[in-house]
């Protein structure tokens, strides 16, 4: 039996703005808004400031003596590289080296770690952590207790400062403050390649902060623009560019692995794959004609033989060209600058192999 879609706390705010909704990880979320659409929303983030409701993202709390040390034995990145008040991108791997999920870990203290997984994977991440948590360490799913608002764009700091929120902390660090009596976690993170912040606020008070941000001039942006923005940056999306079948070595996400750590889930598998060399790797593709790459399109070499598959593809609103991420067989010997082709319903569309990002990042 199909489970009904969950609604974020701000659902009625989005409906009032004329949002077009779509399903994301079991949630009904705004895809785009009336009077704007993907292109205007994308441009707002690149040129001014936009706000996304990404409350479908999961939330989980790991607490108790040694909580951070416990999490560090499970997730891929080295949590000891950061201190209290910092956040870290990390991976939850299975024994085969496949990616169960990619997530952000907020280190509040040695005994308090807050996790933000992807919506569809939250329950599984919590289940895996709970199954091996030592006595005295609790793992609690807080998926619906908090909303997450992403304020992104060159003017994001100016806007939040005007609302009295802190903005001068470093990238991948966070501070706990309050807005009209409600605790808010302000983190210098984002998924757009622009200067920005992600705000974690209790769901029951999310409307107050959302209204203030929109009234201050941020354009409401849907998840369609979030996807074109992240693709321009070459950021992976779980389920497409990372998955149980796509390892961090293949996805060039080895920077999110603490290779010197003595233990983490999937360590033996990814260490062996790194030593042997992956059979395929994630590459960027840039269209040389008017074609727009789409997920699952076949990548062909000059002889017409299949050498890979597109994992994410879209039209770049900034570059005005088709762009893609694709897994390409290492045996094909393809290197940056080479021309290959996509099979578009039987027609060859020329693309060039490039190194992401497709647009320069403004994150400092």
**Residue 299, both tokens:** 């990548």
Q: Region 319-333: what's the mean pLDDT?
A: 98
Burial class (CB in 10 A: 0-12, 13-18, 19+), 294: middle
Burial of 324 (0-12, 13-18, 19+ CB in 10 A): buried
- Measured on CA atoms in the order 90, 95, 99, 101, is the torsion positive or negative? negative
CA angle 178, 180, 181 (to 5 degrees): 60
- Interval 272-300 mean pLDDT: 97
| Cα-based distances in Å from 299 to 243, 330, 345, 346 | 19, 13, 12, 12
pLDDT digits (tens, 9 = 90+) for 169-228: 999 999 999 999 999 999 999 999 999 999 999 999 999 999 999 999 999 999 999 999
pLDDT single digits (tens) 136-172: 999 999 999 999 999 999 999 999 999 999 999 999 9
pLDDT exceeds 80 at position 41:
yes
Characterize the bridge pairing of strands 50-53 and 219-221: parallel
Give tens-digit pLDDT for 56-69: 999 999 999 999 99
Calpha distance 326→323 (Å, rounded): 10
- Nearest partner of 194 among 44, 68, 85, 344, judged by Cα: 44
Q: pTM of the prediction?
A: 0.97
Can you give the length of the chain in residues? 364
d(CA 196, CA 129): 30
pLDDT above 80 for 133: yes
Share of the chain residues as helix, strand and coil, in percent rounded to the nearest 5: 25, 35, 40
Q: What angle do CA 251, 283, 170 make, to 5 degrees?
A: 60
Say what the pLDDT of residue 1 is: 59
d(CA 30, CA 199) in angstroms, rounded, equals 18
Q: Tell me the Cα Rg of the chain.
A: 21
pLDDT tens per residue, range 241-266: 999 999 999 999 999 999 999 999 99
Q: What is the arithmetic mean of pLDDT over 81-106?
A: 98
Q: Residue 2: pLDDT band by 50, 70, 90 thresholds?
A: confident
pLDDT classification of 234: cutoffs 50, 70, 90: very high
């Amino acid at each position: 039996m199909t489970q009904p879609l969950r609604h974020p706390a701000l659902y009625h705010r989005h409906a009032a703005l004329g949002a077009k909704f779509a399903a994301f990880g079991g949630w009904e979320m705004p895809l785009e808004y009336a009077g704007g659409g993907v292109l205007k929303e994308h441009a707002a983030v690149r040129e001014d400031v936009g706000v996304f409701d990404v409350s479908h993202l999961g939330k989980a709390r790991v607490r108790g003596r040694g909580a951070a040390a416990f999490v560090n034995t499970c997730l891929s990145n080295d949590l000891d590289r950061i201190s209290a008040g910092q956040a870290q991108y990390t991976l939850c791997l299975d024994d085969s080296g496949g990616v169960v999920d990619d997530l952000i870990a907020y280190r509040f203290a040695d005994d308090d770690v807050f996790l933000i997984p992807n919506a569809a994977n939250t329950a599984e991440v919590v289940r895996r952590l709970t199954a091996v948590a030592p006595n005295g360490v609790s793992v609690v799913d807080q998926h619906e207790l908090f909303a997450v608002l992403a304020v992104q764009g060159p003017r994001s700091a100016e806007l939040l400062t005007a609302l009295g929120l802190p903005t001068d902390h470093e990238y991948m660090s966070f501070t706990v403050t309050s807005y009209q009596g409600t605790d808010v976690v302000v983190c210098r993170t984002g998924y757009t390649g622009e200067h920005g912040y992600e705000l974690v606020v209790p769901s029951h008070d999310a409307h107050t902060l959302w209204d203030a941000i929109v009234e201050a001039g941020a354009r409401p942006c849907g998840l369609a623009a979030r996807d074109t923005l992240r693709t321009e940056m070459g950021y992976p999306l779980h389920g497409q560019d990372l998955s149980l079948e796509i390892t961090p070595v293949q996805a060039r996400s080895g920077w999110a692995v603490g290779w010197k750590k003595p233990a983490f889930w999937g360590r033996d598998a990814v260490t062996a794959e790194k030593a042997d060399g992956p059979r395929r790797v994630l590459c960027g593709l840039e269209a040389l004609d008017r074609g727009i790459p789409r997920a699952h399109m076949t990548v062909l070499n000059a002889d017409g033989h299949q050498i890979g598959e597109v994992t994410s593809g879209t039209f770049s609103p900034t570059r005005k060209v088709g762009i893609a991420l694709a897994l390409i067989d290492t045996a094909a010997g393809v290197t940056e600058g080479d021309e290959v082709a996509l099979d578009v319903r039987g027609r060859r569309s020329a693309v060039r192999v490039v190194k992401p990002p497709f647009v320069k990042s403004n994150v400092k």
